[in-house]
Structure 1
């Protein structure tokens, strides 16, 4: 509990008036000395309860699992838990440093009657990752503002903001490795889904012989099922400085959204038993370089991919380098081609803000790799400059689409799963 010396002047004024009244013998001066003395007496008698036990705080975060760039509304409900009025309650929520408040305020000052509640609402811009809120800071003052108490009060309800929404399916081409997986192909063999029948061949397993057909016609036929194989896929993230822009202050940049989408794609592909690799094109003094995670599967892949993503996000624009110390050189696409096998397909994640991504896509497609483009839209709108950037981006994406490459034009306001569904139909 702390005190504030607010009425020192009132005490001095009261003493001065009383002295003048005694010296002059005038009663009005003596009566006037009582007025400032009354303020001093009220301040001395006013008490303030402890903040930690007097106020209850509950926090609500909606939506609970937002996408990057989505607006998140945080609501604090402050309740007077005492049987007396609290004339001055001030509260500041513990907003994580990594997220930006763009509407409303996490600060408020209210007066609460016994048992009364008040709400404080503000809006954040979601960013990829998980963020913990600190306990709100609460300060109580008495009516005369001569005493106050400050404490961190643990909030009930939501305490974390998690921006880690996954995707259900990833659009893959029928460019597979030959290993068993979960990607349906247009060839017959062992599997689950019926594909067709053919003449029996020596060595066909008895379990696939159509015994009913044998009983009817006396001819041996073999049942084929649709083969399911694993794809070898590399998710390529465009993390150059040219992509590190946002549609407005406080919103995720193209690199933020690209890493978010890539992480979701890697997780979904790994869950489907595909061989998954990760590459990130970054700027370096000698030109673009490639940070690389070899295609594989299992927990080790996820750990290495997450480490690469974390290093990309942690590197400030203009200071990005190679995550594993390899791949130095001026031609990142040529370096990437040397790493890729002939059966590897790529998912290129880039905002397409300059000419580099479409040139890279055309080069990789010319070398026999099937590609899909996922492009987060960070061009924005409003000003003439932003409209020009948006038009140039749409033109680049249209050129890639005309070349036969499926394109996912993803606006952050739209769930990534829905955006991928359209490309999934195009691939099929």
Structure 2
């Protein structure tokens, strides 16, 4: 649940170290009338000394009011909360309306009701406020709404936090109220307390691939002669060769039949492997996207471009949680990839909390990789294990391309040193013959085109 921000109208739910859990309310004093009794006694004493009946009466009233505040109990917590999310799925950056209704299900007046809805950590409030204050007569309800901005991932709303105070305000009750679905949901709404946001898989990127291919036809040029477009070589004519491939100029010149061969184009099997370890959640600034977020965006673009070119594409996670999509083609395969990148726990927008051994995760990936698969390794390269993994894959005859979003900055000496270390790893990989795409602030297409030109030299 998002940490509540202190609000002069709604109070601060963090005033106590304890927090309410569903079914377990917490009662505490607010300290609103602290010192009233002492002040009232002082006023009464002054009234007696100065023979001022008005001060004596005011002091007596203060003592009675202070005593009543001290003996007041917490208000009844018979309150119902309903939440309505406008839709269950959204694209990144879209706003989704959330409507919360609070109902007084008891028989007593609730003079002071303060509600803080359980907005997930991964969502930001774009419009309105998830906080509301009101008074409720028995059977009455109050409704408020706000809008959240969708962010990649599966987001679960938490119970709403409710603060109840009586007329004196001396005692408050905090309740983590379970939220029910709306009693009469609209056709456009959902009764779920989840919001799933998957990245868009837009076409447009051109992905440079190596010659490692499968036996299926595709668009990757090979060194094999056969059918294709680009001329490859000439061989002796064999019975059954198509007449369109006979080198008639050679027949006319020498009288010998020969067959022209063209460079075959075949499909490739390519895995986009994402570094999902905790170090992949680095960012150059607090409000900048993390390296993992950029890796997910790059993986979606690469995956879509590969499918559009007739290649077989798969996705894998290298981190504490296994995430795997077998290579395939087609629109259904693309939809599965979007769901995997959007909501699978392996690609969660928040850093993983549990520890793991990178070598175990590495072996898990190596065992499942097809022998003829090329690999696009997306990693910020802020430490050595990704570079070691790339060299290991290359040694196992996988054509490896490292796509590295740059999360470094140079505003401090420590960050400058980290950037220098990252550049050293990039240079070492290039020296080992591994293709590297250093992705800075420019669009991904520009980084891929610049790298492809360098590789073609």
Calculate the TM-score normalised by the size of structure 1: 0.57
Q: 2:231 aligns with which of 194, 207, 216?
A: 194
Q: 1:301 aligns with which of 318, 333, 340?
A: 333
Residue 362 of structure 1, CA deviation: 1.4
Extract unaligned runs of 5+ from structure 1.
1-66, 69-96, 107-125, 130-161, 284-288, 323-327
Distance change (3 Å), C-alpha of 1:231 and 1:426 = farther
Q: CA offsets per residue over residues 317-344 of structure 1, 9 Å max, x none?
A: 125899xxxxx99612211111122211
Residue 276 of structure 1, CA deviation: 0.6
- Judge conservation of contact 1:235–1:278 (CA < 8 Å) in 2: yes
Distance change (3 Å), C-alpha of 1:100 and 1:247 = farther
User: Does 2:436 match 1:399?
Assistant: no
Q: 1:269 aligns with which of 285, 303, 306?
A: 306
Superposition pairs of residues 235-384 of structure 1, within 5 angstroms = 235-283=272-320, 289-310=321-342, 311=344, 312-314=346-348, 316-319=350-353, 331-384=360-413
Other structure's SS at 1:295 match: strand
Superposition pairs of residues 5-404 of structure 1, within 5 angstroms = 166-283=203-320, 289-310=321-342, 311=344, 312-314=346-348, 316-319=350-353, 331-404=360-433
- Judge conservation of contact 1:99–1:250 (CA < 8 Å) in 2: no
Residue 99 of structure 1, CA deviation: 6.9
- Counterpart CA distance in 2 for 1:174 and 1:320 is 39
Extract unaligned runs of 5+ from structure 2.
1-91, 94-121, 129-149, 154-198
Residue 356 of structure 1, CA deviation: 1.4
Distance change (3 Å), C-alpha of 1:275 and 1:320 = farther
Residue 166 of structure 1, CA deviation: 4.6
- Counterpart CA distance in 1 for 2:398 and 2:430 is 15
- Counterpart CA distance in 2 for 1:350 and 1:276 is 18
Other structure's SS at 1:175 match: coil
Q: CA offsets per residue over residues 142-185 of structure 1, 9 Å max, x none?
A: xxxxxxxxxxxxxxxxxxxx987654321211101021101112
Residue in 2 aligned with 1:52? none
Residue 213 of structure 1, CA deviation: 3.0
- Counterpart CA distance in 1 for 2:347 and 2:370 is 28
Residue 368 of structure 1, CA deviation: 1.1
- Counterpart CA distance in 2 for 1:427 and 1:297 is 27
Other structure's SS at 2:250 match: helix
The more displaced of 330-339 and 388-397 is 330-339
Other structure's SS at 1:192 match: strand
The more displaced of 396-405 and 205-214 is 205-214
Residue in 2 aligned with 1:423? 451
Residue 220 of structure 1, CA deviation: 0.4
- Judge conservation of contact 1:375–1:407 (CA < 8 Å) in 2: yes
- Counterpart CA distance in 2 for 1:100 and 1:389 is 34
Residue 127 of structure 1, CA deviation: 7.9
- Counterpart CA distance in 2 for 1:99 and 1:200 is 69
- Counterpart CA distance in 1 for 2:359 and 2:431 is 28
Distance change (3 Å), C-alpha of 1:329 and 1:261 = closer
- Judge conservation of contact 1:127–1:256 (CA < 8 Å) in 2: no
Other structure's SS at 2:363 match: helix
- Judge conservation of contact 2:205–2:301 (CA < 8 Å) in 1: no
More strand by share: 1
Give the aligned CA root-mean-square deviation in angstroms.
Answer: 3.1
Count of residues in correspondence between the two structures: 270
- Judge conservation of contact 1:406–1:426 (CA < 8 Å) in 2: no
- Counterpart CA distance in 1 for 2:244 and 2:375 is 37
Q: CA offsets per residue over residues 64-89 of structure 1, 9 Å max, x none?
A: xxx99xxxxxxxxxxxxxxxxxxxxx
- Judge conservation of contact 2:374–2:400 (CA < 8 Å) in 1: yes
- Counterpart CA distance in 1 for 2:295 and 2:439 is 10
- Counterpart CA distance in 2 for 1:416 and 1:399 is 22
Distance change (3 Å), C-alpha of 1:163 and 1:175 = closer
- Counterpart CA distance in 2 for 1:167 and 1:352 is 26
Q: CA offsets per residue over residues 26-65 of structure 1, 9 Å max, x none?
A: xxxxxxxxxxxxxxxxxxxxxxxxxxxxxxxxxxxxxxxx
- Counterpart CA distance in 1 for 2:421 and 2:447 is 21
Residue 313 of structure 1, CA deviation: 4.5
- Judge conservation of contact 2:317–2:347 (CA < 8 Å) in 1: no
Other structure's SS at 1:290 match: coil
Distance change (3 Å), C-alpha of 1:313 and 1:343 = closer
Residue in 2 aligned with 1:92? none
Residue in 1 aligned with 2:442? 414
